Every structure is written in structure tokens, then in C-alpha cells.
Amino acid sequence: MDFIAIGDTVVDEFIRLEKAEVQCDEKNENCTVTLPWGDKIPYDFSVMVPGVGNAANAAVAAARLGLSTAFVSNVGDDHYGAETLAMFKNEGVDTKYIAVNEGVPTNHHYVLWYNAERTILIRHEVYPCIIPENFDAPKWLYLSSIGKHAGEDFYNQLAAWLGEHTDTKLAFQPGTFQIDLGIEKLKNLYAHTELVACNKEEAEKILGTGPIEIKSLLEKMHAIGPKIVLITDGPQGAYASDGEKMYKVPMYPDQKTPYDRTGAGDATTSTIVAALALGKSLDEALLWGPINAMAVVQEIGAQKGLLKSEQLEKYLSEAPEDYRVELF
């Protein structure tokens, strides 16, 4: 197996708002959306998207790029769980490590979507969090968001498993609850991490630094254990370091106005990891990620726009001259 993702999967229910009031600070950041309280608010339409989530999106991205892929997760014994399993099978993702839990519903999130941005109402059900029996060691493990029911013990068990299976490389994209656990409780896991990926604000939260410049963030993230650090920074592009060199790659130009930005970060990170799993060098892999992110934001949800390798290679061959990786 080339690529196994570990994390929660959810059903995202998108609700496209017709009207809302958005307020941001003077830097056009820290935005809030306001809706009338106690009123009836019309919406444009809603769409149900099963089988998403950070790790789930990574599994689908890897499968579409040609890697043999499986997913470790949980669903409920309801129709949402059945739809989720069917979706993964249709994408060529092996579902043998997805547990079906009796009496527990499948995770269900609500996405309030206005213009190209969204706010997500989340709820993670409490599932057993274990390393499956007869777990085949892949070339790459991709760990991302799991609810807070996955405690320190699970991550220590995973770190111990990685210590026994040194040919497997770990890509870690920390989710909200994993970031909240703090560095100390995850120190064994970070020590066994080949690549850690997050956005700039998440890196600052992990390190507890407050706003600092990218070079310092990369250096400080290296200090907690990972061999490769990847930090995305929205319109500024993405940055990476292998401990010797630091790289920057810009966003790939949008082909049209983005429709929904859900999953852009997942697409960037998982595609870079998939490219590494396919044997690409780090600087080559960095060129792949933003292309898939560009494609994802043209569609609803985090997976519909994910590209196959021949589609991605075509965009790469047609890239403008200034789309290149630079040292900084």
C-alpha cells in the first residue's frame, strides 16, 4: 500500500446563504458573518457531501493521483455511513479499515456558505480510536483531524508503531483538537514525523508564538521534530523547509473566480505528500499542491475538483513563467 490516511470523516451539508453581513478588521482579516436573530432567513440551496474531512480528502486526492490508498476511520450504522463507504469505494479507496459503529451516527457538519467563504458548524461523535489489527505498513501514513476522544494514548501508540515500522513515513496535518493537545503531549509523534503541514496561523498556535515571520516559523517547527515543514499562507502561497533549504511556491492562478474555498488547504498538503510518495523531489512536489487547490475551489466541497495526474500535469505544463519554486 502506498498511502493510508487516518482521521475522522464527516458528511458536510452546505447551505448557500443568499444574504449576510460580513464585517472584517482594518486588515480585512478576523471577519465575522452576521444574520438577523429570531428571523426567517432565506437560503439559495443546500448540498450534501458525504465522506469528507481532512484525512478523507487526502485519501481521495492520493487515489486520484494513482496511489494505492486506504483510509482508517469510523462511520455510523446509518444511511450517511453507507453513502460514505460507497463514495470511498467508488474513488478506489480501500475501506477495510473503516469501522461501522452500531448505535452511533455518522459525523455530520453544517457549512454556512456565503460568497466563496464558509463557516462550519462541527460535531465529532465519540468513536473508538485504535490502530486496526493486521494493519499493513504503507509507504506513507497521513494523519489529520480526529475528535478529542482520540487522547494522548492513541498518539503515543501510533508513535510506537512508527518506531517499529521505520520504512513508513508520517505526514501530519494537525486538526483543531490535535493542536489543542499541545506539543508536549504529542512530542513522541512529532519526533516520528517526516512532514508536518499547517497554515501560518495554526503554526503560530502550535508554537504559542503569536504572529512571527515565516522563516522563524519554519525553524521553530523543525525544532519540535519533523524532517520537513510545510506552511501554507493563503494568497501568499506555501513555504517549505527540509532543514537545509527553504522554499516558496506561489498560488496557481485561478482559472475563474473561486466558487467555494472549502478544502483548498487539504488539497495543497495532500497533493504535495502524494507527489513525494510518487517519487517527486520536494521542490517538484511543491508545484503540484497549489494546482489541485486551484481546481478544488472551482467546485462545491473539498473533493469534487480534485485532479487526476494527467490533468494536473497539463496545468503544470501550461503554467505561467512566474509559477515556480524559489529559495528564500
Instruction: Tell me how crowded residue 45 is: count the other CB atoms within 10 A of its CB.
Output: 10
Domain ranges of the chain: 3-9+51-106+127-327
Q: What are 254's three cell numbers?
A: 485561478
Q: Look at 71 and 148; give whichever has higher pLDDT.
A: 71
The pLDDT of residue 181 is above 90: yes
List Cβ neighbours of 69 (8 Å cut-off, separation of 6 or more).
1, 2, 3, 4, 5, 59, 62, 63, 92, 93, 94
pLDDT value of position 256: 87
For residues 226-247, average pLDDT: 96
Distance CA 23, CA 254 (A): 25
Q: Look at 41 and 159; give whichever has higher pLDDT.
A: 159
pLDDT value of position 113: 86
- SS3 call for 154: helix
- At the topology level of CATH, where does 3-9+51-106+127-327 sit? UDP-N-acetylmuramoyl-L-alanine:D-glutamate ligase (3.40.1190)
pLDDT tens string 95-132: 999 999 999 999 999 989 888 788 889 888 999 888 88
- SS3 call for 120: strand
pLDDT tens string 7-33: 999 999 999 998 888 889 888 888 898
What average pLDDT is seen over the chain? 94
pLDDT tens string 36-73: 899 998 899 999 999 999 999 999 999 999 999 999 99
pLDDT value of position 198: 96
pLDDT tens string 287-299: 999 999 999 999 9
At 259, the pLDDT band (50, 70, 90 cuts) reads confident
Please tell me what DSSP assigns to residue 298. Answer: T
- Taking alpha carbons only, the member of 58, 62, 56, 70 closest to residue 278 is 62
pLDDT value of position 192: 98
